[in-house]
Amino acid sequence: MNDKDRTALEGVTPRLCLKGITKQFPGCRANDGVDLSLLPGEIHALLGENGAGKSTLVKIIYGILHADEGEMLWEGKAVSVDNPAAARALGIGMVFQHFSLFDSLTVAENIALGLDRPGRMAALPARIVEVSERYGLPLDPARPVHNLSVGERQRVEIVRSLLGEPRLLIMDEPTSVLTPQEVERLFVTLRQLAAEGRTILYISHKLEEIRALCDRATVLRGGRVAASCDPRVTSARDMAEMMIGSELTTPDRRAETLAEGEALLQVSGLFTTSDDPFATNIKGASLSVRAGEIVGIAGVAGNGQTELLSALSGEVPLPKPEMVSICGTPAGHLGPRARRRLGLAFVPEERLGRGAVPDMTLADNALLSGYGSGGLVRRGLVRFGRTKRHADRIIERFGVAARGHGSQARSLSGGNLQKFIIGREIMQKPRLLIVAQPTWGVDAGAAAAIHQALIDMARNGAAVLVISQDLDELFALSDRIAVIHGGRLSEAVPAADSSIERIGLLMGGVFDNGKTEADHAPA
């Protein structure tokens, strides 16, 4: 909304007004005296780092949590929101970052399960089509959800919320799973909703998007309101410093790439198959990663990243050994143990539950991938003293905040566990390091440390492959970037020669000259 409208609205009752909201958890004060005021028809950004208190505040608004102190005014009247159903009854809708969808059920069934007053089942598909078309979010009510892309699944969540006619719609990190083009389409929808007089509360840490979309922004830091600003006239750098509270430090990048080293990872004609009917199989991927370089693979979740990593790591064996070569040796038929002996180390996307065993100590977890080197296992027996010292070394060198090697993995925060896992892999001095989603959900300090560690590895002659959804991260780290879509891998182009828009098109499946994936598919 523009300034003219804004002055006209001065004196208009805010849709939602929070005063002095405070919430204490054991060990941390998630929200501390937060004031917030949202006007009708505005798109309001809630900014902050991971752990700043955005999720808690929004859960309080939606009735999932209760504030310890403070009050909430809805359209001028004091209210107490006891649970999400009460929130929805008031007119508050929320689209979560993690979807609540049922893969084997249809779109209509999924939406029916999320409605408070479902009405007649037979009438629902028509209502879904009507709402989805009105707001530019086309959906087929009869399709099973497991067939939908991530962007389409988000549409199901949004349409579900819209059917409840919300006057305030909260969007929690909506664009982390979208291609740049899908983000644009979402913005069109949100602007349309705002023009209807609805309020949008937009939670994100993506500064450029906020600058493009939002009218006002509130910045949270450490549970408090650190600043308010108008994103349209504030620079991204200034907003970033408001979020972090200090000078921004960019990672120490090498200006020029090393001379061409040997290809430590060579992928040729990689094809995968799977028992899982919902898997996205790799269809003929080729890639090489040389010593001293960082190659990034961009892509929205669900396009084959998991299958690619399992094929590269050896967790899923391949029919032809030549499909994946590590340090010159064909390795497709080898398991992770043998590939580690060839010089591979890898960090999966799932930390607790794959990269680490939640109920085991850090010492035991150090053994998980380190048993082949460092003399931790001898003649079939585990050398506990050595293992514990090894874990201590990882903790110290990578600044992991933990109470020693005896802490259980599940007791660490996301960022610290990730530092431990990456540190564990780096300490094995691998020649090839593959990392998936390295800083997803990790606080800024740990993320910067992880990025620096990856850059240092490349500087010391290792080949590094990073698979990530975060384009900013990939452009900051990579020498070359490829895109994965529908199981196909694009050519890896030098980052300097590309741009976010170009990569975004590739992520959406549009390969050269505007032709789509489907046009290129074999007949």
Which amino acid belongs to residue 69? E
- Using the contact rule CB under 8 A, the part of the chain among 32-40, 92-100, 130-138, 296-304 near another protein is 92-100
Among 73, 89, 105, 240, contact with another protein (rule: CB under 8 A): 105
Which tokens go with 26? 């054991």
- Using the contact rule CB under 8 A, the part of the chain among 10-18, 81-89, 226-234, 254-262 near another protein is 81-89
For every residue of 29-79, DSSP letters joined together read EEEEEEEEEE-TT-EEEEE--TTSSHHHHHHHHTTSS--SEEEEEETTEEE
- Using the contact rule CB under 8 A, the part of the chain among 167-175, 211-219, 227-235, 367-375 near another protein is 367-375
Give the C-alpha distances (Å, rounded to integers) separating 220 from 35, 36, 203, 239, 351: 11, 11, 11, 11, 27
Q: Is 320 in the site for another protein (CB under 8 A)?
A: no
Residue 104 burial class via C-beta count within 10 angstroms: exposed 0-12, middle 13-18, buried 19 and up: exposed
Beta carbon nearer to another protein, 380 or 522: 380
Among 74, 96, 202, 511, contact with another protein (rule: CB under 8 A): 96
Binders in 433-492 for another protein, by CB under 8 A:
none
Beta carbon nearer to another protein, 83 or 516: 83
Which of 236, 241, 316, 315 lies closest to 271 in space, CA to CA?
316
Q: How many chain residues are in contact with another protein, going by CB under 8 A?
A: 55
CB of 181 to another protein, least distance (A): 28
Q: Is 245 in the site for another protein (CB under 8 A)?
A: no
Which tokens go with 442? 């990790």
Among 32, 75, 109, 140, contact with another protein (rule: CB under 8 A): 109
Beta carbon nearer to another protein, 184 or 350: 350
Binders in 138-167 for another protein, by CB under 8 A:
none
- Using the contact rule CB under 8 A, the part of the chain among 32-40, 177-185, 237-245, 311-319 near another protein is 311-319
Which tokens go with 272? 């995968």
Which tokens go with 48? 């902050």
Which residue's structure tokens are 């269809």?
283
CB of 362 to another protein, least distance (A): 13
CB of 376 to another protein, least distance (A): 9
* Long-range residue pairs from 53-56, CB within 8 A, at least 24 positions apart, any chain: 53/220, 53/222, 53/223, 53/224, 54/203, 54/220, 55/172, 55/203, 56/23, 56/30, 56/31, 56/223
Give the C-alpha distances (Å, rounded to integers) separating 167 from 93, 116, 482: 8, 16, 41
- Using the contact rule CB under 8 A, the part of the chain among 40-48, 59-67, 317-325, 390-398 near another protein is 59-67
- The site string for another protein over 176-195 (x = CB under 8 A, - otherwise) reads --------------------
- The site string for another protein over 392-431 (x = CB under 8 A, - otherwise) reads ----------------x--x--------------------
- Using the contact rule CB under 8 A, the part of the chain among 43-51, 235-243, 309-317, 498-506 near another protein is 309-317
Residue 80 burial class via C-beta count within 10 angstroms: exposed 0-12, middle 13-18, buried 19 and up: exposed
Among 33, 371, 389, 448, contact with another protein (rule: CB under 8 A): 371
Which tokens go with 445? 């300090």
Beta carbon nearer to another protein, 44 or 340: 340
Which tokens go with 436? 């998936």
CB of 381 to another protein, least distance (A): 6
- Consecutive H or E run containing 519: helix 517-520
Which amino acid belongs to residue 319? P
Binders in 345-364 for another protein, by CB under 8 A:
348, 350, 353-360, 364
CB of 116 to another protein, least distance (A): 9
Binders in 266-295 for another protein, by CB under 8 A:
275-278
Which of 355, 330, 345 lies closest to 431 in space, CA to CA?
345
Q: Are 10 and 58 in contact (CB under 8 A)?
A: no
Binders in 110-129 for another protein, by CB under 8 A:
112-114, 118, 121
CB of 117 to another protein, least distance (A): 12
- Using the contact rule CB under 8 A, the part of the chain among 251-259, 281-289, 313-321, 508-516 near another protein is 313-321
Which of 171, 162, 93, 89 lies closest to 130 in space, CA to CA?
162
CB of 384 to another protein, least distance (A): 9
Among 122, 255, 259, 381, contact with another protein (rule: CB under 8 A): 381
Contacts of 387 (CB under 8 A, 6+ apart): 363, 364, 366, 367, 370, 376
Q: Is 65 in the site for another protein (CB under 8 A)?
A: yes
Binders in 321-350 for another protein, by CB under 8 A:
335-340, 348, 350
Rounded CA-CA distance 361/347 in Å is 18
Rounded CA-CA distance 297/467 in Å is 5
Chain centroid to Cα 225, Å, comes to 24
Give the C-alpha distances (Å, rounded to integers) separating 358 from 50, 98, 415: 22, 21, 15
Among 5, 69, 82, 208, contact with another protein (rule: CB under 8 A): 82
Rounded CA-CA distance 217/215 in Å is 7
Among 39, 101, 495, 503, contact with another protein (rule: CB under 8 A): 101
Residues that bind another protein (CB under 8 A): 64-66, 82-85, 96, 99-105, 109, 112-114, 118, 121, 275-278, 313-315, 335-340, 348, 350, 353-360, 364, 367-369, 371, 377, 380-382, 408, 411
